[in-house]
Chains A and B, each alone.
Chain A
């Protein structure tokens, strides 16, 4: 298998039913992910960025089939994982792992750290019994924990250390693909850099492919080669990192990049302030879902949904006017 086509997602949809009344009848669909296609190449870090409720976490969970997609195709190394039966799915999960945002609630408080880390290894029956302790030891060293702490419980660790435990657990089965959902959002500033560095080191060491999901563009920019911008269930722009930050094509990306507060008082930029709030995905706007907040809106925007089109080589945007629009002078500042 070559580097291309490691993960291929085609027309992925996930609708959650909205139920109401005493019979809990379905009254509407919440379109969390609404027809999304993308690919991830092996060894790359791809970032998925968007605001709360845009569907980015749902995409991540669909990739592991932690939730069942409504429609679409997800292939991993050329095999559609939506066709897998229970046993095959279990086998798949030894290759795809997930790191969650909140290390406080994603670790079982009644299990020792050693048990937490080795549980996936035992479930997948990957190493002989007498080698398990060895594996735990090595993993703890890899993530910067002292192996002598393997008999301790999660509450004895700080937030950053807990996230290290989560990472060790995800690594325990030697996966090739890791979905990290807001891996540092719950951590203190001074600890974030430690975890981000660790994730980079482990990527090199284990030859990992990452999908990093975050609302924080600074984290995404630091970690990822390729970035996907999501808005209300749609991917609105996909581009290589530098290409996106130098020349975004979608008006939502303009606003998102310009809204990042830069910790440098000397860098004054022109801010793009969007009108209004993110609409509800239960009853999203017609046409381009961004049109009610878009400063460049035209008649066609409320009527036709724009497709994701290749504007430059490898740079896609879903906007009727992507070719013509430019971010306002001074609104995009390098950071």
Chain B
């Protein structure tokens, strides 16, 4: 296989849902690249399309409401969008794995952890002997730091705490040593000290495996702790991406800047927090032009008319007319 630098390449992806209220463009012309071995953080508020993007990569969009209208998703230069379901099933779970926000809902309550791990191994290699698969399952549980792994293997998910369930989910996801791990809000439902444990585990796994991680979260702190690059999504579009240091210290897009400034206790040392006025738009009837313009302090007439397609400067991407104007000057 040809090894390009990019593991995952999303090209002008458009995904929409048909809802009772109308058509909702959840992902609107998104292009993104993930390098081999890197952790890419995708941040955004609820409903910005970040989870839809992840599900599109996994080929798990809710059918028939969700549909990829245009664009491509290349994994190792193979276009997943037009792949037949059989082929996709071979890739899913082996090349790409996913962990979700709610481990309770993602684990099957009627099977033991061992059975679920063994299933993950054998789904992609039927020749693995049961004994060998058991050994591998035990090995995986040890790797994700579950104490007493021999006993734990024979238990059911309800006997695990929230943090342990997420560890078990990670074990299942990493079972086939995937090239791409998609982690959708992996620590959101966990307590602060357990969140720290899971982040530490992901850091260790990143060292041990060479997987790329697409980390999806609304928590800017989690991204800063784990990711090398970050993309900021708003109303179905990528507003900005770049290295975490650059984006956090010198945000280009007004939305990114607004978000960072509004976090309590960080940038704002004063009593009052900087705010982004208004609310996240409804994607069934989104604003015209740049979708952020009604909330943007720098918006002008042009912003209300046409959305900025975005441009790349020194490895950073930003989709804002006003920033471009400023740079030209």
**Chain B residue contacts of A191, Cβ below 8 A:** 279-280
* Count of interface residues, chain A, beta-carbon cutoff 8 Å: 41
The listed residue with most B CB atoms (<10 A of its CB), out of A217, A219, A273, is: A273
Query: Of A73-81, A85-93, A255-263, which binds chain B?
Result: A255-263
Majority-rule SS of B interface residues: helix
Q: Distance (Å) between the CB of A102 and the closest chain B CB?
A: 14
Bound form: Cα–Cα A260–B259 in Å: 18
Those of A233-273 within 8 Å (CB) of chain B: 255-256, 258-266, 271-273
Provide the residues of chain A in CB contact with B194, threshold 8 Å: 51, 277-278
Q: How far is the CA of A160 from the CA of B46 in the complex (A)?
A: 13
Q: Please judge, given known A-B contacts A189-B45, A190-B276, A218-B265, whether A262 and B224 are in contact too, CB under 8 Å.
A: yes
Closest beta carbon of chain A to B77's beta carbon, Å: 31
Interfacial chain B residues near A200, Cβ < 8 Å: 271-272
With both beta carbons as reference points, the residue of chain B lying nearest to A190 in the complex is identified as B276
B258 touches A190 (CB 8 A): yes
Question: Which chain A positions have C-beta within 8 A of B280?
Answer: 158, 188, 190-191
A197-B273 in contact given A263-B223, A265-B244, A277-B163 (Cβ < 8 Å):
yes
CB closest chain-A residue, reference B264: A222
A193 sits at the interface (CB 8 A): yes
How many angstroms between the C-alpha atoms of A215 and B244 in the bound complex? 26
Indicate the size class of the contact surface on chain B: 35 or more
The minimal Cβ–Cβ distance linking A149 to chain B, given in whole angstroms, is 14
Q: Which residues of A contact B275 (CB under 8 A)?
A: 190, 193-194, 197
Instruction: State whether A271 touches B266 (Cβ < 8 A).
Output: no
Could you list which residues of chain A lie within 8 angstroms of chain B, going by C-beta atoms?
Answer: 51-52, 158, 160-161, 188-194, 196-197, 200, 215, 217-219, 221-223, 255-256, 258-266, 271-274, 276-278, 335
The 28 listed contacts between A and B (C-beta, < 8 Å) are: A161-B279, A188-B45, A188-B46, A189-B259, A189-B263, A190-B45, A190-B262, A190-B279, A192-B262, A192-B264, A193-B275, A215-B191, A215-B192, A217-B192, A223-B264, A255-B193, A260-B192, A263-B220, A263-B224, A264-B249, A265-B248, A266-B248, A273-B200, A274-B193, A274-B197, A277-B164, A277-B194, A278-B191
